[in-house]
Chain A
């Protein structure tokens, strides 16, 4: 802790001293605005939901209709994109690859950022998301806040605090930025502390507490009229995080995510922008199961993940044709250990690697083109080609189940996609397709006795797995006028060599709670279908209604159901604005899970409905805009768990939340 405090102090000392220096220099320099060039535009989303302005990253992602979550507790939910687990999507922070250090996926990348250091989250479905690396499900790119250079020097800041009554979560989020014509600095601090939450029967869910500290800093300097350098860092530390659905908790996880970026813009010519970033991130993750009295044996499962990377992006534009070319290269080392102790901690009873120091090196070139055929129609097409290399240092652990398997493996990962968009008056249509490979993840390829508490099996990786190959098709149709909008999206994935765990007849389990051993194997194929319908209607100028319906279906090659496929779900919300008051209410829920998968350890989850309500009031204290919000989630105190709740742990019951935000 001491170390981290010193680090933070150092960060801020350097921030302020540099800020002062530049103020003096600024006067001498001529003033030219550096515009952000963004050729392929994406709608910016503010990191808050309709219901709640102080959300966690997880809650924010949950408001997107193609994201669902596996939840192992109140913290660090694993995002599922298009109903596929996180190995199938690329999750990046500003294009940087970061890999969690926990073999049990207790630390998805989304757990290492905080809502006040992000500006938006880009979600791309399927092969359109291959820009940052090979994928099947798509990509989730978490965009860090960046402050543009400003003609007149300007300070901005916000402070937000709040309390949630159910789990006594107290949070403080602060961010500040300074922008001048030559120099920009921004930073954020966040601290959340929550105790155990209570379920719908007002029973405490033990081991669901968490504490999280997050800090980020960005410094940018304009090196010339059209170029700038930027260094950024995110530090995240979570301590004493309970995972009620797992037999162990988190003692400490720390992440340091750093990058340096050089950006060059061009006024004329084919090349319009060049953006090169080098990055480094290190994650450590230590579990703790000594707080669980039911464990007669204690197992430390520390994990480390270190990644170095390079990202270089060029934007080209010529008339109605624009392209984006991106080079991605990274090197990751993932190591995780298992050490068991009987209750007497001095006696060690075993040692093994659950990730035997596995190196993943990836290099790939991605291309995305956009051709505006006419005002009404546009063609997007692109592709990527990547090389993925794996090396397992302690290959003897892989040889136990796969004798003689090579220590190294190189894979070629191609990807192609195309889409056509057409707008006719109030209607819009799109159709597209894609093809792409992905390499197995470290756990799927090289994992060793990784305990999965959902189906209670120990999982063994297989280094000889074939690439997963995805063929996808997608289409959408929509209508929009001043008052009413309706948008339907469908996509269909046919995935060859679909990787999933199958029971191994050989081998016996190792982890305390497990019932058997599963090995990752490839199914011949599986299919996935996703459908979503979004609609909105403006009843009055200050009264809006929105509705979302999603449906998905996943089957394996024997026409059995795949696990973790969301049943038919719905969401309906009304927003009413009156003077400086805003009122929102929403109802959301899932229907009964009909197509569950007992083969893969699922049981049927009943339907549930949640009703939420919130109100906020905006006013000014002096010149500062202030918003105060009060609301309640799960007002009816429904006792429920969702299809993807690990171990059917009940979700949070009625939760009253309050929050106060100042903008400076």
Chain B
């Protein structure tokens, strides 16, 4: 009988060890992308008796879409300002001294519930030695207007799921598409959220710098972003997925649709931008053929993501 036990143990040792290890799916999914949920301070500015704090996810501003929370505290009374008009203008200065901005919310909204001002900025580039970002903030308190300038650091967005693209459409206007969500897609139907913005060409001469009319951007209304997600790698043969939904605008101004990822890997979101008249103003329709061995053709308007 002892020998039988010996045999059983020998058998168990052989069984419990697989020749090749199974993939650790949970870590497979989680290592690729770091998700951020916490709003932390990016920068704090002291101006007269006021402290201005800018908060963003992970305490960092990235290239692409950033939700911004701003609080202004009167350091004397230790109370937050809530009834002011707060403006927010990011300005990029490049090595030759040219100024530009990026899609942003100029007039910030006050949220009573959270006791902060909120807005967004879609930074179109990272800050480096050659170009530099600063924000111009103005607010009024007790009938007096204050303005502050602050250099900020815009970092590279390593999460490709929050990529952005800028382009000039067939109507001659300059557009921006920035992905807002999901930060961390799943193998599933994911709600895809994007912001679509347009640069408003100034109609008047530039006033004193920084003249907001020279740096005006708006969310476009009632456009449709047609979606065709595909895996571009030659090995994937232009693979796509079922049940995708084009992006349409919802009440908060952002565009919502559905993207279905069937597996992990590199994906391209092929877009076509349709204006309210139903005209395609940017983007090409991609082939739906299965073409193994050939790099998938991308729409002229697309965003690559990695998942």
Q: List the interface of chain A (C-beta within 8 A of B).
A: 3-4, 6-7, 10-11, 14, 17-18, 21, 217, 219, 231, 233, 235, 252, 254, 256, 258, 280, 282, 284, 286, 296-297, 302, 304, 335, 337-342, 348-353, 394, 396-397, 399-401, 403, 449, 504, 506-510, 512-516
Tell me if B147 is interfacial: C-beta within 8 Å of chain A: no
Distance between A249 CB and nearest chain B CB, rounded to angstroms: 16
Is B236 a contact of A340 with CB atoms below 8 Å? yes
Beyond known contacts A233-B11, A352-B187, A400-B188: 11 more, CB 8 A cutoff:
A14-B6, A17-B3, A235-B14, A302-B20, A350-B231, A350-B236, A394-B25, A399-B188, A399-B189, A400-B241, A403-B189
What separation, in Å, do the CA atoms of A219 and B4 have in the docked complex?
Answer: 9
What separation, in Å, do the CA atoms of A482 and B187 have in the docked complex?
Answer: 68
Is B242 a contact of A400 with CB atoms below 8 Å? yes
* Cβ contacts B23-47/A at 8 Å (1 or 0 each): 1010010000000000000000000
> What count of chain B residues pass the 8 Å CB interface test?
44
A-B contact pairs, 16 of them (CB 8 A): A7-B11, A11-B10, A18-B4, A280-B15, A282-B15, A284-B19, A296-B235, A296-B293, A297-B292, A302-B22, A340-B235, A348-B265, A350-B264, A351-B265, A512-B235, A512-B292
Most buried by A among B14, B28, B266: B14
Is A508 a contact of B239 with CB atoms below 8 Å? yes
What separation, in Å, do the CA atoms of A449 and B28 have in the docked complex?
Answer: 19
Is B288 a contact of A335 with CB atoms below 8 Å? no
Distance between A476 CB and nearest chain B CB, rounded to angstroms: 44
**Residues of chain B contacted by A17 (CB below 8 angstroms):** 3
Distance between A100 CB and nearest chain B CB, rounded to angstroms: 16
**Residues of chain A contacted by B161 (CB below 8 angstroms):** none
What separation, in Å, do the CA atoms of A340 and B235 have in the docked complex?
Answer: 8
Is A507 a contact of B241 with CB atoms below 8 Å? yes
Tell me if B166 is interfacial: C-beta within 8 Å of chain A: no
Known: A7-B14, A17-B3. A508 touches B240 (CB 8 A): yes
**Residues of chain A contacted by B15 (CB below 8 angstroms):** 256, 258, 280, 282
Is B237 a contact of A509 with CB atoms below 8 Å? yes
**Residues of chain B contacted by A304 (CB below 8 angstroms):** 18, 22
Contact of A342 among B23, B235, B242 (CB under 8 A): B235
Is A396 a contact of B187 with CB atoms below 8 Å? yes
Is B22 a contact of A335 with CB atoms below 8 Å? yes
**Residues of chain A contacted by B25 (CB below 8 angstroms):** 353, 394
Tell me if B243 is interfacial: C-beta within 8 Å of chain A: yes
Tell me if B7 is interfacial: C-beta within 8 Å of chain A: yes
Is A401 a contact of B242 with CB atoms below 8 Å? yes
**Residues of chain B contacted by A515 (CB below 8 angstroms):** 290
Most buried by A among B20, B231, B237, B262: B262
Is A3 a contact of B14 with CB atoms below 8 Å? yes
Is B4 a contact of A512 with CB atoms below 8 Å? no
**Residues of chain B contacted by A352 (CB below 8 angstroms):** 187, 262-264
**Residues of chain B contacted by A7 (CB below 8 angstroms):** 10-11, 14
What separation, in Å, do the CA atoms of A464 and B17 have in the docked complex?
Answer: 34
What separation, in Å, do the CA atoms of A340 and B292 have in the docked complex?
Answer: 13
Most buried by B among A254, A350, A394: A350
Is B22 a contact of A396 with CB atoms below 8 Å? no
**Residues of chain B contacted by A296 (CB below 8 angstroms):** 234-235, 292-293
Is B241 a contact of A254 with CB atoms below 8 Å? no
Tell me if B131 is interfacial: C-beta within 8 Å of chain A: no
**Residues of chain B contacted by A349 (CB below 8 angstroms):** 231, 233, 235-236, 265-266
Scan residues 188-217 of chain B and give those whose CB is less than 8 A from a CB of chain A: 188-189
Is B290 a contact of A351 with CB atoms below 8 Å? no
> What are the nearest 9 A-B pairs in CB distance?
A297-B235, A352-B263, A506-B242, A350-B265, A508-B240, A10-B10, A507-B242, A14-B3, A396-B188
What separation, in Å, do the CA atoms of A233 and B7 have in the docked complex?
Answer: 10
**Residues of chain A contacted by B241 (CB below 8 angstroms):** 400, 507-508
What separation, in Å, do the CA atoms of A621 and B22 have in the docked complex?
Answer: 53
What separation, in Å, do the CA atoms of A491 and B42 have in the docked complex?
Answer: 78
**Residues of chain A contacted by B20 (CB below 8 angstroms):** 284, 286, 302
Known: A10-B6, A342-B233, A508-B241. A514 touches B188 (CB 8 A): no
Distance between B236 CB and nearest chain A CB, rounded to angstroms: 6
Distance between A477 CB and nearest chain B CB, rounded to angstroms: 49
Tell me if B132 is interfacial: C-beta within 8 Å of chain A: no
The closest CB in chain A to the CB of B238 belongs to A508
Scan residues 262-282 of chain B and give those whose CB is less than 8 A from a CB of chain A: 262-266
Distance between B304 CB and nearest chain A CB, rounded to angstroms: 13
The closest CB in chain A to the CB of B4 belongs to A231
Is A231 a contact of B290 with CB atoms below 8 Å? no
**Residues of chain B contacted by A403 (CB below 8 angstroms):** 189, 243
Most buried by B among A6, A349, A507, A514: A349
Most buried by B among A231, A297, A516: A297
Tell me if B100 is interfacial: C-beta within 8 Å of chain A: no
What separation, in Å, do the CA atoms of A401 and B22 have in the docked complex?
Answer: 25
Tell me if B101 is interfacial: C-beta within 8 Å of chain A: no
**Residues of chain A contacted by B235 (CB below 8 angstroms):** 296-297, 340-342, 349-350, 512
**Residues of chain A contacted by B243 (CB below 8 angstroms):** 400-401, 403, 506
Tell me if B148 is interfacial: C-beta within 8 Å of chain A: no
What separation, in Å, do the CA atoms of A297 and B265 have in the docked complex?
Answer: 14
**Residues of chain B contacted by A399 (CB below 8 angstroms):** 188-189
Tell me if B260 is interfacial: C-beta within 8 Å of chain A: yes
Is A400 a contact of B234 with CB atoms below 8 Å? no
The closest CB in chain B to the CB of A397 belongs to B187
Distance between A347 CB and nearest chain B CB, rounded to angstroms: 9
**Residues of chain B contacted by A449 (CB below 8 angstroms):** 262-263
**Residues of chain A contacted by B231 (CB below 8 angstroms):** 349-350
Distance between B52 CB and nearest chain A CB, rounded to angstroms: 43
The closest CB in chain A to the CB of B292 belongs to A512
Most buried by A among B23, B234, B243, B290: B290
Tell me if B186 is interfacial: C-beta within 8 Å of chain A: yes
What separation, in Å, do the CA atoms of A341 and B4 have in the docked complex?
Answer: 45
Distance between B26 CB and nearest chain A CB, rounded to angstroms: 10
**Residues of chain B contacted by A338 (CB below 8 angstroms):** 263
Is B290 a contact of A514 with CB atoms below 8 Å? yes
What separation, in Å, do the CA atoms of A515 and B8 have in the docked complex?
Answer: 48
Distance between B185 CB and nearest chain A CB, rounded to angstroms: 11
**Residues of chain B contacted by A219 (CB below 8 angstroms):** 4, 7
Contact of B7 among A10, A335, A506, A509 (CB under 8 A): A10
What separation, in Å, do the CA atoms of A401 and B242 have in the docked complex?
Answer: 7
Is A400 a contact of B11 with CB atoms below 8 Å? no
**Residues of chain A contacted by B189 (CB below 8 angstroms):** 399-400, 403
The closest CB in chain B to the CB of A256 belongs to B15
The closest CB in chain A to the CB of B25 belongs to A394
Distance between B162 CB and nearest chain A CB, rounded to angstroms: 21
What separation, in Å, do the CA atoms of A332 and B300 have in the docked complex?
Answer: 48
Most buried by B among A304, A337, A351: A351
The closest CB in chain B to the CB of A348 belongs to B265
The closest CB in chain A to the CB of B258 belongs to A403
**Residues of chain B contacted by A510 (CB below 8 angstroms):** 236-237, 239, 262-263
Distance between A560 CB and nearest chain B CB, rounded to angstroms: 26
Known: A11-B7, A14-B3, A400-B260. A256 touches B233 (CB 8 A): no
Is A18 a contact of B3 with CB atoms below 8 Å? yes
Most buried by A among B18, B28, B235, B292: B235
* Cβ contacts B175-191/A at 8 Å (1 or 0 each): 00000000000111100
Is A258 a contact of B11 with CB atoms below 8 Å? yes
Contact of B19 among A21, A254, A258 (CB under 8 A): A254
What separation, in Å, do the CA atoms of A509 and B239 have in the docked complex?
Answer: 6
Contact of B290 among A6, A282, A396, A508 (CB under 8 A): A508
**Residues of chain A contacted by B262 (CB below 8 angstroms):** 352, 397, 400, 449, 507, 510
**Residues of chain B contacted by A507 (CB below 8 angstroms):** 240-242, 262
What separation, in Å, do the CA atoms of A515 and B233 have in the docked complex?
Answer: 17
Contact of B234 among A284, A297, A337, A401 (CB under 8 A): A297
What separation, in Å, do the CA atoms of A302 and B19 have in the docked complex?
Answer: 10
What separation, in Å, do the CA atoms of A14 and B1 have in the docked complex?
Answer: 10
**Residues of chain A contacted by B264 (CB below 8 angstroms):** 350-352
